[in-house]
Amino acid sequence: MCSIPTTSIAPPISGNRLSARNLRGVTLNSKIRAISAKPVMGMVRDERFMIEKDNCGIRNGDGVIVVDHGSRRQESNLMLNAFVAMFKERSGYPIVEPAHMELATPSIKDAFCACVQQGANRIVVSPYFLFPGRHWKQDIPSLAAEAAKEHPGIPYVVTAPLGLHELMVDVLNDRIKHCLSHVEGNADECDVCAGTGGCRQIVA
């Protein structure tokens, strides 16, 4: 039997400062402020992502865990909540939970349990990492295996990290253009580095 401490659950997105600031490129409470008008940053539900019974993708009964590294900076952790909300809205997947590999809650074990409690009969652990490394090769599989011990009979899959994808080119380009616009005084500080003093031009 699994038990998730209430203190380990991340606060709902609608109640934190990120929603109040209205993240650029993030949909929170139906408020959209994208960096660009390109579909990659939009929130129109794409039929390609919808659940299909006759393919090898996500199926009814699957629970998806989107896991990042985790940070001691709460604002960074809350951004995973925002991304998961975006992903769930666009994909239409009914069971999607955020998790942090370390340093913050909810953990992979917490998210695994939350998925099972919602009726998931298979868990898909999707690392929100760019490239394969030790965390993907060792740490996340180890933590997923430990979480699965509490749910005998529930299979799980650890997917590949994001890796090389042509859409990442658009995402990176949008980020660069927005940050340079901010440096030039033509755009607000982005929510990724808000309050950090980052995204500024420095002369040695």
Tell me what pLDDT residue 56 has: 60
Per the domain annotation, does 161 fall within a domain? yes
- pLDDT tens figures, 33-49: 333 333 333 334 455 55
> What's the mean pLDDT in 15-21?
37
Per the domain annotation, does 182 fall within a domain? no
Quickly list DSSP for 100-166.
ESSSSSSBHHHHHHHHHHTT-SEEEEEE--SS--HIIIIIHHHHHHHHHTTSTT--EEE-----S-H
Per the domain annotation, does 51 fall within a domain? yes
**Domain interval for residue 96:** 6-165
CB atoms within 10 A of CB 59: 14
* Amino acid making up residue 23: L
Per the domain annotation, does 192 fall within a domain? no
Residue with tokens 């390109």: 38
53 vs 190, which has greater pLDDT?
A: 190
Q: Mapping DSSP to helix (H, G, I), strand (E, B) and coil, where does residue 51 land? A: coil
Per the domain annotation, does 183 fall within a domain? no
For the chain, what is the domain count?
Answer: 1
Per the domain annotation, does 203 fall within a domain? no
- pLDDT tens figures, 90-148: 999 999 999 999 999 999 999 999 999 999 999 999 999 999 999 999 999 999 999 99
Per the domain annotation, does 1 fall within a domain? no
Least confident segment among 78-87, 95-104, 187-196: 187-196
Per the domain annotation, does 177 fall within a domain? no
pTM of the model: 0.74
Q: CATH code at 12?
A: 3.40.50.1400
User: What is the 3-class SS of 158-200, one letter each residue?
Assistant: ECCCCCCCHHHHHHHHHHHHHHHHHHCCCCCCCCCCCCCCCCC
